[in-house]
Amino acid sequence: MGKNVYKMYINGEWASTKANFTDYNPASGGIWAEIPDGDRDDAKKAIEAAAAAQPEWAAMPHPQRANYLLKAADILERRQMDFVNALIDEGGGWIGKGMFETGYTPGIFRAAAAAVYQMIGEILPSDHGKVSMVVRQPLGVVTVISPWNFPLLLSSRGLAVALAVGNAVVLKPSEETPVSGGLLIAELFEEAGLPAGVFNVVTCSRNHVADVGDEMITNPTVGGISFTGSTAVGRQVAAKAGEMLKKACVELGGKDALIILDDADMERALNAATFGTFMHQGQICMSVERIIVDESIADEFIERFVEKVKTLNTGDLREMPNVIGPIINQRQLDKIHGQVTEAVEQGAKLLAGGTHEGLFYRPTVLTNVTPKMRVFQEETFGPVAPIITVKGVDEAVALANDSQYGLSAGIITRDEEKGLAVARRLQTGMAHVNCSSVNDEPHIPFGGVKNSGVGRHGGKASIEAFTETRWVTLERGGRHFPPPFVVAPKG
Ligand code: NAD
């Protein structure tokens, strides 16, 4: 496949920069595209364009604003394979993952279109007989910084409702997936006829990301920030935003537990564990990263799990059976392999995987894992299943909560009441009984607690995140001032 040369999208125009950076295909190691290496000035220009376009955008009648999002959804469906190809080639995703992501994202745009009618305020009773209103208004310019693992879905989740409620947006996709996570989305909105400046995409390499990122947070015109990515970077983003008293919604890393209780349906447990751990090579924020299984059923679970894991194929990602793609880059692969080898040195048993060819890491199963190991405590973001056995519900809950993270969780049990009771005891933003931790829908409040982030994306939560609440009153003569302040009526 030939190399593609891209431009950035600022103020409705395609712009090049002095230098480009290379977008690699992680499966082949080859160069896939050349991308503009934007800098602080480009970010500034995009923010200025957004600020200029925003008032008219916010004043536009609701159905018109909604219509752009509906059109973008339709165009995405028509151009599905352009996105799927980019998700495979620059993102290292299996074709089934690309089909899922491109099938899901139009729903994000359509749910956002409906949000134009959900900027709902309140009329409050007033002590003074005023008309007392609570209204919502857009933040102005919202910047969106997104990761590479589900680039189309996660960029769209950050920007769609922000646009719908009347903000203008500047998006900076990850340097690993600038096309599927940004430039193709700009093409959608351009074709939909979105007014210039309402949506902008700035791309840059790792060399410029500190500067570009800083501008996107600290520029005084920026009213709010949507960040999805690692805890380390998200913490810096939230700190900068906090210092400037700006709203920031930060969705960060995870170390999600799948708890398999003694009365679990075994097939359900095996399916949830296999999908939850290995979908997209474990590179999902809410991947199953710890399997906590009751000792009474652990032997059967481990034997059947390892048997299944050994059947997961790697290979040409355009073929359906090859469900395991490459790790996104060498840095990530080294981190994964480091955690696995260290765990084995510390006494963990390797029952599958633990090896790699190029960036393709074999699905890996570890038993005899202890809570002190890094593979139990730190996010792995790879195809690794650390298994730990426990006795009873209390031990399982305590172990699941023994984490700096708190994104999602899964609980497998035939007793639904017990499952919900465990869900309530877990320190996570999300919990799923009889399913894996990997679940999302466009309208739900997605997000975590502890080091997994602050704020929620999706549906009503996104409206809250990307608007300001204001109190506006209309005085009608009922408010009395102290007599010394009051003038005598004229005449
Ligand atoms: P990352 O933090 O390295 O990068 C995320 C984004 O931040 C990228 O666009 C990157 O260019 C940008 N960035 C890097 N340095 C920056 C800086 N100094 N200032 C501003 N922006 C900067 O994360 P990643 O490797 O792209 O993604 C993987 C991580 O994201 C994992 O930890 C994963 O758990 C997390 N994640 C979380 C969610 C969620 O919803 N909670 C979803 C997907 C991924």
Ligand 1 contact, 449 CB (< 6 A)? no
Instruction: State the Cα–Cα distance between residues 326 and 26, nearest whole angstrom.
Output: 6
Residue nearest to atom 32 of ligand 1 (CA): 230
Ligand 1 contact, 472 CB (< 6 A)? no
Instruction: State the Cα–Cα distance between residues 456 and 319, nearest whole angstrom.
Output: 35
pLDDT for 483 beyond 60: yes
Overall average pLDDT of the 447-472 stretch: 97
Cα angle 437, 440, 441 (rounded to 5 degrees) comes to 155
Looking at residue 477, its pLDDT comes to 85
How far does the centroid of ligand 1 lie from the alpha carbon of residue 324, in Å?
A: 22
Q: Kindly list the distances between the CA atom of residue 248 and the CA atoms of 51, 118, 120, 217, in Å, as whole numbers in the listed order.
A: 18, 21, 21, 9
Per residue in 183-210, pLDDT (tens digit) is 999 999 999 999 999 999 999 999 999 9
Overall average pLDDT of the 333-344 stretch: 98
Mean pLDDT over each residue of the chain, to the nearest integer = 97
Probe target for ligand 1 pocket from 144, 146, 149, 286, with the most ligand atoms within 8 Å of CB: 149
- Ligand 1, atom nearest to 216 Cα: 20
How far does the centroid of ligand 1 lie from the alpha carbon of residue 174, in Å?
A: 8
Overall average pLDDT of the 144-165 stretch: 98
How does DSSP assign 76-145, residue by residue?
A: HHHTHHHHHHHHHHTT---HHHHHHHHHHHHHHHHHHHHHTT----EEE--TTS-EEEEEEEE-SEEEEE
Beta-bridge mates of residue 302: none
pLDDT for 372 beyond 50: yes
- Ligand 1, atom nearest to 145 Cα: 9
Overall average pLDDT of the 460-489 stretch: 95
pTM of the model: 0.97
Helices 80-89 + 151-164 axis angle, to 10: 130
Q: Is 150 helix (H, G, I), strand (E, B) or coil?
A: coil
* C-alpha 85: how far from chain center: 21
How far does the centroid of ligand 1 lie from the alpha carbon of residue 337, in Å?
A: 20
Percentage of the residues of the chain whose pLDDT score is greater than 90: 98
Probe target for ligand 1 pocket from 207, 233, 236, 456, with the most ligand atoms within 8 Å of CB: 233
How does DSSP assign 321-337, residue by residue?
A: T--B---S-HHHHHHHH
- Ligand 1, atom nearest to 172 Cα: 9
The catalytic residue positions are: 251, 285
How far does the centroid of ligand 1 lie from the alpha carbon of residue 205, in Å?
A: 14
Lowest mean pLDDT among 2-6, 35-39, 74-78, 88-92: 2-6
Q: Are the beta carbons of 248 and 237 closer than 8 angstroms?
A: yes
Ligand 1 contact, 134 CB (< 6 A)? no
Looking at residue 467, its pLDDT comes to 98
How far does the centroid of ligand 1 lie from the alpha carbon of residue 217, in Å?
A: 15
Residues in the chain: 491
Per residue in 99-148, pLDDT (tens digit) is 999 999 999 999 999 999 999 999 999 999 999 999 999 999 999 999 99
Instruction: State the Cα–Cα distance between residues 250 and 449, nearest whole angstrom.
Output: 11
How far does the centroid of ligand 1 lie from the alpha carbon of residue 276, in Å?
A: 20
Per residue in 88-104, pLDDT (tens digit) is 999 999 999 999 999 99
Instruction: State the Cα–Cα distance between residues 393 and 400, nearest whole angstrom.
Output: 11
For the chain, the distance separating the N- and C-terminal CA atoms, rounded to the nearest angstrom, is 88
Looking at residue 2, its pLDDT comes to 53
- Ligand 1, atom nearest to 181 Cα: 9
pLDDT for 384 beyond 50: yes
Looking at residue 478, its pLDDT comes to 85
Residue among 412, 353, 408 nearest 384 (CA): 353
φ and ψ at residue 178, rounded to 5 degrees = -70, -20
**475: how many CB neighbours lie within 10 A of its CB?**
12
**149: how many CB neighbours lie within 10 A of its CB?**
27
Instruction: State the Cα–Cα distance between residues 466 and 250, nearest whole angstrom.
Output: 12
